[in-house]
């Protein structure tokens, strides 16, 4: 088919032509946005799931919803070794400046800018002299303790009060939340706790790996009363079919049932892989409907591409010992995998696996769904490990 009209969009955060199977979570977000705008308390949302399940595109969809609902939004993304304070200050500055020139601007907005000015100098953020430029001096004694937990809370409360003054609301979107440190996460939760108690119009919608609920629970014991952690998983067979069928049909092309079943079987419904197969099928097909035969021709090409890109970038960051650990996980039949089973396979004691296990968790390759259990954070990674390392080595290094 014509590559120019190819509707499929494999890629990180690429908006899918059809956002299949996410109606429930979009509804939950709609309720959250409406309630908070009306000053009613509601739990914030942190989406959790493996890489490539569609957290970022959902976050973006919820942000568009927030904008349509009249929210001022700011979207930040966690990265390894990037502190939270400058990120939040830079984006909040834009929001407050957007509020500032409104007619009848009141004292709260002025104060919020003053608090931001002091937060910025406390955390040495270089975003220009916000306060001076606006002829507003930094607020002494506010958001300047140097303790992020106290200062972020003051900053967000001041910003939310400014929004309330204009009958507006603020929505903060944070992607890759797991990259923030425990103290940063703690500060975010404490600020949201305060905002909720004061019933101020500020919501938080975040996304991250499945370790997030545990991280948040460790940071603050009240996390689960403050936040809901919907799990974003693979699509059902029906939703996978919809994700493929609807965008193709919009271009006048059909998939036959066997081809749809085959893609579901190969991808287990993981959205990123669904887009990859959809895209390749589109390129290879010469007539409609797209048949099983076309999908079978596509499969080796898609797998080779995934192995080269999606999987390989992760694999290349591993030491031999880590590779072997991950390869051994692919041998375990039970899911989730137990550390004990792995030790048995590798013929080592459970305790010797500890350091490798924590290195792999730090690299974001695996996570622990429950005590003593392990899982890959990338879907279908076990199959890749078997392709790239046909045999399991039994030595440790």
Ligand X SMILES: Nc1ncnc2c1ncn2[C@@H]1O[C@H](COP(=O)(O)OP(=O)(O)O)[C@@H](O)[C@H]1O
The minimum distance between CB 59 and Mg ion, in angstroms, equals: 8
For the window 333-372, what string marks contact with ligand X as x by the rule CB under 6 A? Answer: ----------------------------------------
Between 243 and 281, name the residue whose CB sits nearer to ligand X.
Answer: 243
* Options 1, 22, 37, 179; binder of ligand X; rule CB under 6 A: 22
* Options 37, 43, 51, 220; binder of ligand X; rule CB under 6 A: 51
Cis peptide before 289 (omega within 30 of 0): yes
Between 59 and 134, name the residue whose CB sits nearer to Mg ion.
Answer: 59
Between 49 and 201, name the residue whose CB sits nearer to ligand X.
Answer: 49
**Residue 72: Cβ within 10 Å count:** 23
**Residue 218: Cβ within 10 Å count:** 12
Phi, psi of 180 (to 5 degrees): -75, 155
Grouping H, G, I as helix, E, B as strand and the rest as coil, residue 172 is strand
Q: Are 351 and 396 in contact (CB under 8 A)?
A: no
Between 111 and 267, name the residue whose CB sits nearer to ligand X.
Answer: 267
Between 66 and 191, name the residue whose CB sits nearer to ligand X.
Answer: 66
* Options 56, 196, 211, 377; binder of Mg ion; rule CB under 5 A: 56
> Does 19 sit near ligand X (CB under 6 A)?
yes
C-alpha distances out from residue 228 to 32, 45, 222, 332, Å: 11, 5, 11, 32
The minimum distance between CB 244 and ligand X, in angstroms, equals: 9
DSSP strand pairing (337-338 vs 71-77): unpaired
The minimum distance between CB 14 and ligand X, in angstroms, equals: 4
> Does 57 sit near ligand X (CB under 6 A)?
yes
Between 187 and 232, name the residue whose CB sits nearer to ligand X.
Answer: 232
* Options 44, 118, 275, 279; binder of ligand X; rule CB under 6 A: 275
Q: Are 84 and 108 in contact (CB under 8 A)?
A: no
> Does 138 sit near ligand X (CB under 6 A)?
no
Q: Are 38 and 253 in contact (CB under 8 A)?
A: no
Determine the Cα–Cα distance for residues 191 and 260; give it in Å rounded to an integer: 46
Between 123 and 381, name the residue whose CB sits nearer to Mg ion.
Answer: 381
Nearest to 174 by CA among 188, 164, 161, 187: 188
Determine the Cα–Cα distance for residues 98 and 149; give it in Å rounded to an integer: 26
The count of residues interacting with ligand X (CB under 6 A) is 24
> Does 16 sit near ligand X (CB under 6 A)?
yes
- Alpha helices of the chain — where are they, by DSSP H? 23-37, 55-68, 84-99, 107-122, 130-133, 148-165, 182-197, 212-219, 223-226, 237-250, 257-267, 271-284, 292-306, 312-315, 320-331, 339-346, 350-362, 381-388
> Does 49 sit near ligand X (CB under 6 A)?
yes
**Segment near Mg ion (CB under 5 A), from 22-30, 48-56, 192-200, 365-373?**
48-56
> Does 56 sit near ligand X (CB under 6 A)?
yes
Interface with ligand X by CB under 6 A: which residues?
A: 9-14, 16, 19-22, 49, 51-57, 243, 271-272, 274-275
């Amino acid at each position: 088919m014509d590559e120019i009209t190819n509707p499929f969009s494999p890629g990180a955060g690429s908006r899918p032509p059809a956002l299949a199977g996410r109606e429930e979570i979009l509804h939950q977000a709609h309720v959250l946005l409406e309630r908070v705008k009306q000053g009613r308390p509601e739990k914030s949302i942190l989406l959790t799931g493996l890489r490539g399940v569609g957290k970022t595109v959902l976050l973006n969809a919820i942000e568009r919803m927030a904008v349509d609902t009249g929210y001022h939004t700011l979207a930040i993304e966690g990265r390894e070794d990037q502190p939270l304070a400058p990120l939040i200050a830079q984006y909040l500055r834009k929001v407050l400046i957007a509020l500032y020139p409104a007619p009848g601007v009141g004292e709260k907005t002025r104060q919020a800018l003053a608090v931001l000015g002091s937060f910025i100098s406390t955390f040495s953020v270089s975003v220009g002299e916000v306060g001076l430029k606006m002829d507003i001096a930094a607020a002494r004694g506010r958001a300047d303790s140097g303790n992020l937990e106290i200062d972020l809370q003051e900053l967000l409360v001041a910003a939310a009060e400014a929004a309330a003054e204009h009958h507006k609301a603020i929505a903060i979107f944070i992607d890759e939340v797991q990259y923030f440190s425990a103290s940063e996460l703690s500060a975010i939760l404490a600020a949201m706790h305060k905002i909720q108690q004061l019933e101020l119009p500020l919501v938080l919608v975040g996304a991250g790996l499945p370790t997030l609920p545990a991280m948040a629970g460790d940071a603050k014991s009240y996390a689960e009363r403050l936040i809901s952690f919907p799990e974003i998983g693979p699509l059902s067979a029906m939703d996978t079919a919809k994700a493929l069928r609807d965008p193709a049909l919009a271009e006048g092309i059909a998939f036959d049932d066997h081809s749809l079943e085959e893609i579901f079987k190969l991808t287990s419904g993981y959205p990123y892989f669904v887009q990859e197969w959809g895209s390749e099928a589109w390129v290879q097909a010469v007539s409609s409907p797209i048949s099983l035969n076309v999908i079978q021709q596509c499969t080796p090409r898609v797998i080779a591409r995934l192995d080269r890109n999606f999987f390989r970038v992760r694999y290349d960051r591993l030491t031999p010992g880590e590779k072997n650990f991950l390869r051994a996980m692919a041998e375990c039949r039970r899911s989730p995998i137990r550390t004990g089973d792995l030790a048995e396979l590798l013929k080592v004691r459970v305790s010797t696996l500890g350091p490798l296990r924590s290195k792999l968790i730090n690299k974001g390759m695996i996570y622990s769904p429950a005590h003593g259990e392990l899982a890959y954070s990338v879907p279908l990674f076990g199959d890749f490990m078997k392709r790239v390392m046909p045999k399991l080595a039994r030595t440790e290094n």
